Amino acid sequence: MAADQATSPAPAPAPVGPEDVVRVSPTTVAGGFNTLRVPLAPRATWILDDIRFALDSSFIYPEAAEDFALIAALRHDHPGAPLALFAHADASGEEEYNKKLSGRRAIAVYAVLTRRVDLWEQLYSQPYGNDKWGDRELDVMIRTVAEGEPTTASNAQHKAARAILFRDYMDILCRDLAGTPFTLDASADFLGGGADKGGKGDYHGCGELNPVLVLSAAEERALAGDKNKEARAAENAPNRRVSGVFFEPGSRVDVTKWPCPRATEGSAGCHKRQWSDAKARRAAGATRRTHEIEGDTFACRFYDRLAREPLASRLTLDHLRIRLVDQEGKPNAGEQYGFTVAGATASGTSDTDGYIDLRVPSSATSGTLKLGDQIVQLEVEPLPPITSIAGIQVRLRNLGFYAGAIDGADGPQMREAIRVFQQEIGRRGTPLVANGDPNDRPTQHALREAHGS
Amino acid sequence: MPRYHTVQQGEHLARIALQYGFPDYRVVWSDAGNASLRELRSSPDVLKPGDQVFIPESPAREERRATNARHRFTVNVTRPTLRLALEGLLGKPLRSVRGELRVDGRVIPVVADGHGVVQQPLPVGAERADLVLSDAAVAGGERKFALFIGYLDPVTEVPGQESRLNNLGYRAGTAGDPKAYDFRSAVEEFQCDYGLAVDGKCGPATQKKLVAVHGS
């Protein structure tokens, strides 16, 4: 049984990067030396999308439990790898406001991971602009907590009661794939080690500086004005996110040398770190641009460098639906199963039609499904980046355009498949030049869209 | 007979000089025939492939000894030293860090001093050494670096700029193209960290600072 529908990039094998090759001079003259500085090396990226937050708010919805489970899986795959959080906003509104709102989202996520209910109490008791936690948020938490344990409905108007509610709600948000709550250690599990009270090296708000998507000038014009506010916000949703970057195990930074300002501070400290052509990067051009394909959309040079690392591609939680049938093809309903992936075992029973739903981190290459005495090994194929030849081959194959080898080599069979894809998509309304070129950016955009990832 | 030697990648003056029978490379470096080379390259440790080194008349030394006896002659060869300032993330010196250096099949234990500097004399012919740092202070616990000795090009050349930026952890890549994305990113980060005007171009002021920070 092969599960080849995994749909996001998995880490490539560790390459011999330029950092491993050190060209030095011999020293025969006085005062001469060579410096060998260990670089910051990201190993994986986790993202919490805008949809997991209340509108314009730092309040996290219960559905985010899906994403927090992936953090547990990532930690299993990268033992000892410390985390740093970077929250991002879109470009509507004031830069200063966006910086602080994103900072509050970073604080909110950090607080969940470390169970810092005091930080949530600060977010609750000190509203900022539209980010006001109120009765609606308390209600979501009470209802969520009550479903798990029907006894905790509390009067959350009192601080002490809120602390219990926050803590219980965090325990529901932050669970591994088997459903066991987990926490991160503020000193051992974060890049800055909690050495700075304001979270330098641990959690940051980047504001609007680093959009993953920059709309075209024509799209911007079409979405201008107050009446299009919602549509514009919807288009920009991918830009509003919290990214968690996992670094090489054992990495720890000196927080006094860390370039980012604190999550609660304004954007002044970010300016120094911007690309010299930061304005042009964020400006709308003739076509829409993405960080994944064009690569030149981030204004912060420091963060851009971290995000450009080949091993820093985003990991996701993929859903795998499997139907259990007997010899005659009848569904096996109510059959118990255990599914082990990334060190956690989730168990359950198949539904009346024999279906079971499994969650697989995109970093996993295999999982073990246990059905009674039977053990089934599931193999998962990683999806290479859209900007690589192999990434194009896999997507073309999954869409039925290509039947050749997934070998990462540019060849006539793949080029012919690209040409057919370009003609087909052209017929559906987005005109593409049928040039068969794997490096053609409009084609990469269209292929990524058609494939869904 | 005097002649010229064309420098190849990986060569440095101490090794070239010995090849032509000069145990002390300074005799070659200070020769009048190398005046223009000295002007072009500030250090005999950092030459560019293609540079022309003037090789003066061979320094034949006359020693008289009786025949029919065994004699011992000693030649003092200037040995280059590998001098490495080891730094952790964001430039924190790796004081007293431990590791080992593997060179020509030998394993030499090394310890950084109180400034994070490791010093180790090397055989003049050594071109490749592997440095393994195994210390909790180093991210990753154990890290291996492939050192190519004599491969550092002058800072006036793009490959020389890339190497220094890479050694300093800026990830400039090895494209050899000053317009390459990673190279511009690395140059700007370096300029930003060291208080220079940030323009992504590795001009004279940036080159000077690169040599000062890198140490060569």
Contact A276 B200 (CB under 8 A): yes
Classify residue A14: in a domain, yes or no.
no
B116 in contact with A, Cβ within 8 Å:
no
User: Considering CB atoms only, which of A38, A275, A302 is closest to B87?
Assistant: A38
Most B CBs within 10 Å: which of A37, A78, A257, A298, as the mutation test of the B interface?
A37
Give yes or no for B75 touching A (CB within 8 A).
Answer: no
Contacts of B92 in chain A (CB under 8 A): 254, 257
Q: In terms of C-beta distances under 8 Å and separation of at least 24 residues, what long-range contacts does A254-258 make, across chains too?
A: A254/B89, A254/B90, A254/B92, A255/A192, A255/A193, A255/A195, A255/A196, A255/A200, A255/A201, A257/B90, A257/B91, A257/B92, A258/A192, A258/A196, A258/A200, A258/A201, A258/B90
Query: Residue A11 domain-assigned?
Result: no
| Residue A426 confidence (pLDDT) above 80 | no
Reported as a single tens digit per residue, the pLDDT across A249-270 is 989 999 999 999 999 999 999 9
Tell me the one-letter amino acid at A388: S
In a shared domain, residues A299 and A403:
no
Tell me whether residue A262 is in a domain.
yes
Which among A19, A257, A276 has the least Cβ separation from residue B166?
A19
pLDDT, position A70: 93
- Kindly report the nearest CA distance between residue B3 and chain A, in angstroms: 24
CA distances from A10 to A40, A71, A307, A394, A445 (A): 20, 15, 15, 13, 20
Nearest-neighbour CA in chain A from B63: distance (Å): 28
What's the CA angle centered on B161, arms B157 and B163, to 5 degrees? 115
**pLDDT at B58 (0 to 100):** 76
Q: pLDDT of A46-61, one tens digit each? A: 999 999 999 999 999 9
DSSP letters, A364-376, are -SEEEEEETTEEE
CA distances B85 to A25, A148, A220, A343, Å, are 13, 56, 51, 40
pLDDT at A110: 98
Cβ atoms of A32 and A25 within 8 Å: the answer is yes
A337, A445: one domain: no
DSSP letter assigned to residue A12: P
The verdict on A415 and A372 lying in the same domain is no
Q: Do A18 and B173 touch (CB under 8 A)?
A: yes
Query: In A83-228, which ranges are continuous DSSP H helix?
Result: 95-114, 117-125, 135-148, 159-173, 217-222
Q: Do residues A239 and A90 make contact, with C-beta atoms less than 8 angstroms apart?
A: yes
Please check the confidence at residue A18 and state whether its pLDDT lies above 60: no
Question: Could B145 and A250 be called an inter-chain contact, meaning their C-beta atoms sit closer than 8 Å?
Answer: no
Among A362, A380, A398, give the residue marking a domain's end. A380
Of the listed ranges A26-30, A64-68, B168-172, the least confidently predicted one is A26-30
pLDDT over 70, % of chain A: 92
Confidence of residue A148 (pLDDT cuts 50, 70, 90): low
Based on DSSP, count helices (H) and strands (E) in chain B, helices before strands: 6, 8
Task: Give the mean pLDDT of chain A.
Answer: 88
What's the confidence (pLDDT) of residue A5? 37
In a domain, A13, yes or no: no
Looking at the predicted structure, is the pLDDT value of residue A4 above 50? no
Sign for the pseudo-dihedral over CA of A130, A133, A139, A143: positive
Query: Which residues in chain B are contacts of A26 at CB distance < 8 A?
Result: 12, 14, 45, 80-82, 122, 149-150
Per-residue pLDDT tens digits for B129-182: 999 988 777 776 678 899 999 999 999 999 999 999 999 999 999 999 999 999
For the segment A353-363, the average pLDDT, to the nearest whole number, is 88
Please check whether residue A367 is in contact with residue A360, taking contact to mean a CB–CB distance below 8 angstroms. yes
For B81, the 3-state DSSP assignment is strand
Q: How far is A382 from A316, CA to CA, in rounded Å?
A: 12
The domain boundary residue, chosen from A332, A353, A380: A380
Query: Final residue of a domain: which of A380, A401, A432?
Result: A380
Encode pLDDT of A390-409 as tens digits: 999 999 998 889 999 999 99
Identify the closest residue of chain B to A20 by CA–CA distance.
Answer: B145
Cα–Cα dist A205/B45, whole Å: 45
Binding-face residues of B in 3-62 toward A, CB within 8 A: 12-14, 25, 43-46
Same domain as A211, residue A75: yes
Question: How would residue A6 be classed by pLDDT, with cut points 50, 70 and 90?
Answer: very low
User: Regarding predicted confidence, which is higher, A19 or B33?
Assistant: B33
pLDDT for res A429: 65
Residue A28 lies in a domain: no
A390 three-class SS: helix
How many domains in chain A? Answer: 3
Q: What percent of chain A has pLDDT over 90?
A: 66
- Report the alpha-carbon distance of residue B119 to residue B112 in Å, rounded: 8
Q: What is the pLDDT of residue A8?
A: 35
Average of per-residue pLDDT values in chain B: 91
How distant is the Cα of A276 from the closest Cα of chain B, in angstroms? 6
Residue A365, pLDDT > 90, answer: no
Give residue A17's pLDDT.
43
Query: Is B144 an 8 Å CB contact of chain A?
Result: yes
Q: Is residue A62 part of a domain?
A: yes
Q: Find the mean pLDDT for residues A373-384.
A: 84
Confidence band, pLDDT 50/70/90 cuts, at residue B101:
very high
**What pLDDT sits at residue A427?**
67
Q: What is the CATH number of the domain that holds A193?
A: 3.30.1330.60
Q: Is the pLDDT of residue B110 over 60?
A: yes
Q: Which two tokens stand for residue B91?
A: 């430039």
Considering only CB atoms, A28 lies closest to which of B44, B151, B174, namely B44
Hey, are the CB atoms on B139 and A249 less than 8 Å from each other?
yes
Per-residue pLDDT, B125: 87
Complex confidence, ipTM = 0.90
Structural domain range at position A407? 389-451
Q: In this structure, are A244 and A296 located in the same domain?
A: yes
The answer, yes or no, to whether residue A3 has pLDDT greater than 50, is no
Q: Are residues A336 and A421 in the same domain?
A: no
Using 50, 70 and 90 to split pLDDT, how confident is the model at B98?
very high
User: Is the pTM for the entire model greater than 0.95?
Assistant: no
Q: Do A397 and A332 share a domain, yes or no?
A: no
Chain A partners of B46 at a C-beta cutoff of 8 Å? 25
| Domain harbouring A330, CATH code | 2.60.40
Q: Verify that A439 and A302 share a domain, yes or no.
A: no
Least Cα separation, residue B66 to chain A (angstroms): 37
Structure confidence at residue A12 (pLDDT): 32
* Shared domain check, A168 and A200: yes
pLDDT at A187 over 80: yes
Whether residues A340 and A446 fall in one domain: no
Helix (H) or strand (E) holding A356: strand A355-361
Domain spanning B3-55: CATH 3.10.350.10: yes
Average pLDDT over residues B73-86: 85
Is the pLDDT reported for residue A62 higher than 60? yes
CA distance A72 to chain B (A): 20
Same domain, A236 and A88: yes
Report the greatest alpha carbon distance in chain A. 84
Each residue's pLDDT tens digit, B24-70: 899 999 999 999 999 999 899 999 999 999 999 876 777 788 888 88
Contact A32 B25 (CB under 8 A): no
Three-state SS for A5?
coil
Both A49 and A176 in one domain: the answer is yes
